[in-house]
Amino acid sequence: MNGGDEVVTAPAGPPQPLDWKFSQVFGERTAGEEVQEVDIISAIEFDKTGDHLATGDRGGRVVLFERTDTKDHDALRRDLERTDHPINRHPEFRYKTEFQSHEPEFDYLKSLEIEEKINKIRWCQTANRALFLLSTNDKTIKFWKVQEKKVKKISEMNLDPPKAVGNGCVASSSNSNSPTLCLANGGSSGNDFSFPPGGLPSLRLPVVTSQETNLVARCRRVYAHAHDYHINSISNNSDGETFISADDLRINLWNLEISNQSFNIVDVKPANMEDLTEVITSAEFHPTHCNMLVYSSSKGSIRLIDLRQSALCDSHAKLFEEPEAPGSRSFFTEIIASISDIKFAKDGRYMLSRDYMTLKLWDINMDSGPVSTFQVHEYLRPKLCDLYENDSIFDKFECCLSGDGLRVATGSYSNLFRIFGCAPGSTEATTLEASKNPMRRQVQTPSRPSRSLSSITRVVRRGAETSGVDANGNSFDFTTKLLHLAWHPTENSIACAAANSLYMYYA
Amino acid sequence: MAMIDEPLYPIAVLIDELKNEDIQLRLNSIRKLSTIARALGEERTRKELIPFLSENNDDDDEVLLAMAEELGVFIPYVGGVEHANVLLPPLETLCIVEETCVRDKAVESLCRIGAQMREQDLVEFFIPLLKRLAAGEWFTARVSSCGLFHIAYPSAPEALKTELRTLYGQLCQDDMPMVRRSAATNLGKFAATVEAPHLKVDIMSMFDDLTQDDQDSVRLLAVEGCAALGKLLEPQDCVAHILPVIVNFSQDKSWRVRYMVANQLYELCEAVGPEPTRSDLVPAYVRLLRDNEAEVRIAAAGKVTKFCRILNSELAIQNILPCVKELSTDSSQHVRSALASVIMGMAPILGKDATIEQLLPIFLSLLKDEFPDVRLNIISKLDQVNQVIGIDLLSQSLLPAIVELAEDRHWRVRLAIIEYIPLLASQLGVGFFDDKLGALCMQWLKDKVYSIRDAAANNVKRLTEEFGPDWAMQHIVPQVLDMINNPHYLYRMTILHAVSLLAPVMGKDITCSKLLPVVINASKDSVPNIKFNVAKVLQSLIPIVDQSVVEKTIRPCLVELSEDPDVDVRYFATQALQSSDQQMMMSS
């Protein structure tokens, strides 16, 4: 279907490691500048074409960026460049617009504050040049339309503008109080107001002069009051008309057009809350099969459910779990096994999960264990106790796959993020820092781990720095964590969030 | 700025407000578009107003929706049918907007206009528009185009017809599921205009594509098309083409598709005729009644009566009844509830003997169901069985069921059964009612929940209507009036309410002799709430009783109340006095 799958099965060697370069930064922090809590980015999402990028922040705002290097107006220049030399263009974005998606609220029934923080953003199908997206905080999902509107400058009114406004108020507010108006509005009731057959020449239509446009975001629908717990994911169905929202214990199915009802499709809430051992941490629809979705759990398992089987999908169609290595169990085993994010590859065959220490690539046809496992920050393993003490161990890192399915990426601490090649035979493991000089902290790719290429399952453990950067004297900063990042759907370009700054890299 | 004559002022305001900042004003103007058009005259409407509307199409969805609707009836204002084509461009842009309800309305309006347009205009203007939409860049245009084919096709010349069919075929295979859904939805309408030979070839192949779609949502809509297509085809073609599809659908992997089949199946029986119904559809339906998914069984159970009505009673008893028996003990309460809501309708179909022998045990077991909705559903349809076998066979089981519901701890259940009491009374007859149910009706007047007391008061009135004032005087009125001495004022208030409801039904004599004294007595109550309710009730009694009674009894009482220390009592008493003054003025 796309390159990813073919290359994975192709006998030709793994693709060359990519050389990552800094592209852009939005909202860069100047030295010494305090980061405002509300400005911290909490969600990043490219749209399907990759022409738009959206970020959400803790202040409930959504910021949109649009790609500038593919616009038609510079097509000419592009052609010129192309004939000159094979250009190495990379996606460039510019600020498009922003809007306040969520406001802080208070649930009076439960005496709970509801934060405005945007937990997730998902793009919907673009229609008629209008952009659509879903954004959610802990409780409420909103459907936004962003559209260019003409700035109206009206001239040639029938009446003097101030007068017209004055009368306008009368005209709209009451039809019964003003007798003349009853007559004129008699379209409903009467023919008593007769016009000459040729019409009245003195009347004219308003003329709109200005053709300037500006972007307007309108909230089209609010999907509220369906979640008792905090929403962790939303995901669109390939049918273009439904989406799911998942909280800790339930997954609901919505129709985009209907905001006053949803269907509960998964409910893991035990009859007695004391029996609760596992919560839902993330959920996503399959990219092409409308009936399939996966959700991950705090115990590290992934469940695939088939919406065709039954209306309430409490029993899964498939369970993906890695068998626990004997003797490895410790106090932290269960905590670090919790999956913080799950993503499907574009082809829908592979999926990627992130737990605290690793990225795991799964084949949906193989439920016995992951195809590959990538160590993200193995040097932290001895420090789990500290990480537990300062709650960092509960940080929820996101993960992403490249459009071609050849690479995966995820974030770590000290504003670092890691990119791994997941094609067979690839040893690519890059560490980048979210800064203008991403290779500053680059560590050497460790030597290839010994493994048999003939093994049926390509389980690899690599990228495990022995003692890590720590040995270089860099102390790791647990407060600068890179939780959110997204891979451009068609090109090798990554957007990632370091606190309030959005960094973009390309290769 | 132009000066506008005084009489034109309102219309000038209306026109200016087409572009007002306030959306309510714009909406108001758009809703009066026909008035504006009449003021401008036909020619300027064509040359100025319609182009103006076409240009200003980036308005809010509410305004666009109103515009799409208004344009659908605009032919008279542009100069009649020969100018209808000027209305197409603004509607074409509305067919592309992102909001579904606007597009739907624009398509509806286009269909309305297209249906009136002259044939040559359709070919010259409407069909090119349709082709532009069908090849539109945005899926919204293509979605809209699907709903226009049935208007364009009949007028198209032969070559164009072929092209339109090809175009529709492409829409059925569009990349976007939204477009395929629209194609599936509109296939039946389009098929109805297509000539028989093409129907069997082109349309059926499109239908086949849609029935094999990967997206469940498309297949769902294809199921709906089955019945529509089935009615267009000759029975033998229907058996050859539609029947296998529906049988397949009834075993689809997706429960939602099977759910749709369960809902639609009975409609297809007529299209295929009795023999294929017996051989294929009955087994398919039986499978659905025994489906693994409760939702599917709910849908199937809800159609059991409709389905049996099409079959002969022998077939129904042989094949369907065993399933019905299973469903009556289904593990899902919703399935039992769906069954209970329709099963009584099977009695007339099966006839007296089969009903007594087969259905009655099912009724009785459902009447004892642990889930109140199931029992209520049975009770609500009692009249259907009553006509076939009479109530006696049921009444033994009925009474405990009613009593249990009447005392259910959920007030909504109690409310539901009260609503059915008048129906039950009429079915069971006075005798049965007096013995068993009368006490219940009195008990509800003393319920803890206001809604129940309110419904109980209303119930008393409806029973009186059913059995007449004489019966009420014997069995209801004394007991009701007794309760006016209840120590709790809320119950006394319920009685006052009941009295105000009973009075019009009982007539003036009984009202004067029995009801009025009770009300007058209550005016001496210690609770102000009772007193002002007395005032309200007295006001409602004024039109019922004779003028002399008003003068002698009601007004003195009201006058006394109007001097009450409590402000609310004075207020309602004064109101009642005023209304009685008006009454007198009108009668004199």
- Domains in chain B, please, with CATH? 468-587 (1.25.10.10)
Spell out which residues of chain B touch residue A239, defining contact as CB-CB under 8 Å: 177, 215-217
- Mean per-residue pLDDT over chain A, rounded: 82
For this complex, say whether ipTM is above 0.95.
no
Name the packing angle between helices B372-380 and B333-343 (round to 10°). 10
Q: Which of B11, B24, B53, B59 to mutate to test the interface with A (most CBs of A within 10 A)?
A: B11
Cβ-Cβ contacts under 8 Å for A76 (sequence gap 6 or more): none
pLDDT band at B438 (very low <50, low <70, confident <90, very high): confident
Inform me whether the pLDDT recorded for B14 exceeds 60: yes
B287-311 mean pLDDT? 93
Nearest residue to A116 (alpha-carbon basis) of A59, A72, A196, A36 = A59
Instruction: State residue A469's pLDDT score.
Output: 42
Inform me whether the pLDDT recorded for B570 exceeds 80: yes
Residue A4 resides in a domain: no
Instruction: State residue A190's pLDDT score.
Output: 40
- Give A239 to chain B, closest Cα distance, Å: 6
* Cross-chain Cβ contact B256/A187 below 8 Å: no
Q: How many domains does chain A have?
A: 1
- Residues B323-346 pLDDT 10s: 999 999 999 999 999 999 999 899
Confirm if A433 and A450 have CB atoms less than 8 A apart: no
pLDDT band at A463 (very low <50, low <70, confident <90, very high): very low
Confirm if B385 and B424 have CB atoms less than 8 A apart: no
* Cross-chain Cβ contact B293/A311 below 8 Å: yes
A37 touches chain B (CB under 8 A): no
B262-284 mean pLDDT? 88
Spell out which residues of chain B touch residue A158, defining contact as CB-CB under 8 Å: 2, 4, 12-13, 15-16
- Give B131 to chain A, closest Cα distance, Å: 17
CA A79 to centroid of chain Cα atoms: 33
Q: Which of B13, B63, B73, B185 to mutate to test the interface with A (most CBs of A within 10 A)?
A: B13
B17 vs A171, A196, A240: nearest CB: A171
Radius of gyration of chain B (CA): 33
Name which residue leads in pLDDT, B172 or A330. Answer: B172
Q: Where are the alpha helices (DSSP H) in A56-127?
A: 75-84
- Residues B135-183 pLDDT 10s: 999 999 999 999 999 999 999 999 999 999 999 999 999 999 999 999 9
Q: Terminal CA-to-CA distance of chain A, rounded, Å?
A: 23
CA distance A48 to B569: 69
pLDDT band at B19 (very low <50, low <70, confident <90, very high): confident
- Residues A37-90 pLDDT 10s: 999 999 999 999 999 999 999 999 999 999 997 755 445 444 554 555 445 578
* Cross-chain Cβ contact B8/A202 below 8 Å: yes
A22-36 mean pLDDT? 86
Name which residue leads in pLDDT, A70 or A348. Answer: A348
Confirm if B469 and B505 have CB atoms less than 8 A apart: yes
- Give B441 to chain A, closest Cα distance, Å: 37
Instruction: State residue B588's pLDDT score.
Output: 65
Residue A169 resides in a domain: no
Percent of chain A with pLDDT over 70: 79
A289 touches chain B (CB under 8 A): yes
Inform me whether the pLDDT recorded for A342 exceeds 90: yes
Confirm if B283 and B265 have CB atoms less than 8 A apart: no
Instruction: State residue A457's pLDDT score.
Output: 39
* Cross-chain Cβ contact B12/A238 below 8 Å: no
For the domain that residue A334 is a member of, what is the CATH number?
2.130.10.10
pLDDT band at A470 (very low <50, low <70, confident <90, very high): very low
Residue A202 resides in a domain: no
- Residues A227-257 pLDDT 10s: 999 999 999 999 999 999 999 999 999 999 9
B377-400 mean pLDDT? 81
CA A24 to centroid of chain Cα atoms: 19
A283-294 mean pLDDT? 96
A184 vs B10, B52, B138: nearest CB: B10
In the three-class reduction of DSSP (H, G, I as helix; E, B as strand; rest coil), residue B307 is classed as helix
**Number of continuous H segments (helices) and E segments (strands) in chain A:** 6, 33
Name which residue leads in pLDDT, A430 or A83. Answer: A430
- Mean per-residue pLDDT over chain B, rounded: 90
For the record, the structure tokens of A343 come out as 């993503």
- Give A360 to chain B, closest Cα distance, Å: 29
Nearest residue to B263 (alpha-carbon basis) of B233, B231, B306, B216 = B306
* Cross-chain Cβ contact A125/B24 below 8 Å: no
Percent of chain B with pLDDT over 90: 59
Q: Where are the alpha helices (DSSP H) in A360-417?
A: 384-389
* Cross-chain Cβ contact A187/B25 below 8 Å: no
CA distance B165 to A61: 48
Beta bridge partners of A297: A280
CA distance A34 to B2: 58
Q: Which of A473-482, B29-38, B39-48 has the lowest mean pLDDT?
A: A473-482
A194-200 mean pLDDT? 73
Within 13 Å of residue A57, how many CA atoms lie on the same side as its CB?
Answer: 22
* Cross-chain Cβ contact B17/A257 below 8 Å: no
A290 touches chain B (CB under 8 A): yes
Inform me whether the pLDDT recorded for A287 exceeds 90: yes
In the three-class reduction of DSSP (H, G, I as helix; E, B as strand; rest coil), residue A36 is classed as coil
Confirm if B231 and B269 have CB atoms less than 8 A apart: no
Residue A388 resides in a domain: yes
Confirm if A24 and A438 have CB atoms less than 8 A apart: no
Inform me whether the pLDDT recorded for A384 exceeds 50: yes
pLDDT band at B354 (very low <50, low <70, confident <90, very high): confident
Q: Which of A464-478, B32-46, B243-257, B449-463 has the lowest mean pLDDT?
A: A464-478
Domain that holds residue A365: 23-74+89-143+220-441+476-506
B97 vs A128, A291, A309: nearest CB: A128
Q: What is the DSSP letter of A130?
A: B
Instruction: State residue A71's pLDDT score.
Output: 54
| Chain A residue nearest residue B31, CA to CA | A187
Instruction: State residue A160's pLDDT score.
Output: 62
Most confident of A453-462, A485-494, B390-399: A485-494
CA distance A254 to A224: 11
Q: Which of A216-225, A438-447, B282-291, B444-453 has the lowest mean pLDDT?
A: A438-447
Beta bridge partners of A354: A341, A359
* Cross-chain Cβ contact B16/A208 below 8 Å: no
* Cross-chain Cβ contact A309/B34 below 8 Å: no
Q: Which of A147, A150, A151, A159 to mutate to test the interface with B (most CBs of B within 10 A)?
A: A159
| Chain A residue nearest residue B5, CA to CA | A202
Name which residue leads in pLDDT, A10 or B568. Answer: B568
Percent of chain B with pLDDT over 70: 99
Instruction: State residue B293's pLDDT score.
Output: 94
CA distance A349 to B262: 34
Confirm if B424 and B402 have CB atoms less than 8 A apart: yes
Residue A272 resides in a domain: yes
Confirm if B103 and A135 have CB atoms less than 8 A apart: no
CA distance B558 to B571: 11
Percent of chain A with pLDDT over 90: 59
- Residues B80-111 pLDDT 10s: 999 999 999 999 999 999 999 999 999 999 99
- Residues B471-501 pLDDT 10s: 899 888 888 898 898 899 999 999 999 999 9
Spell out which residues of chain B touch residue A292, defining contact as CB-CB under 8 Å: none
Long-range contacts of A189-194 (CB under 8 A, 24+ apart): A193/B35
CA distance A397 to A410: 7
Inform me whether the pLDDT recorded for A191 exceeds 60: no
Inform me whether the pLDDT recorded for A279 exceeds 90: yes
In the three-class reduction of DSSP (H, G, I as helix; E, B as strand; rest coil), residue A318 is classed as strand
Label the pairing between strands A21-26 and A501-506: antiparallel
Residue A500 resides in a domain: yes
Inform me whether the pLDDT recorded for A445 exceeds 60: no
CA distance B99 to B116: 27
For the record, the structure tokens of A130 come out as 């209008």
Confirm if A507 and A492 have CB atoms less than 8 A apart: yes
Name which residue leads in pLDDT, B191 or A4. Answer: B191
pLDDT band at B55 (very low <50, low <70, confident <90, very high): confident
Residue A204 resides in a domain: no
Beta bridge partners of A306: A292
Residue A181 resides in a domain: no
- Give A496 to chain B, closest Cα distance, Å: 31
Confirm if A46 and A53 have CB atoms less than 8 A apart: yes
Provide the chain A residues 196-255 that lie in CB contact (below 8 A) with chain B: 196-200, 202-206, 208, 218, 220, 238-242
* Cross-chain Cβ contact B10/A308 below 8 Å: no
CA distance B169 to B176: 14
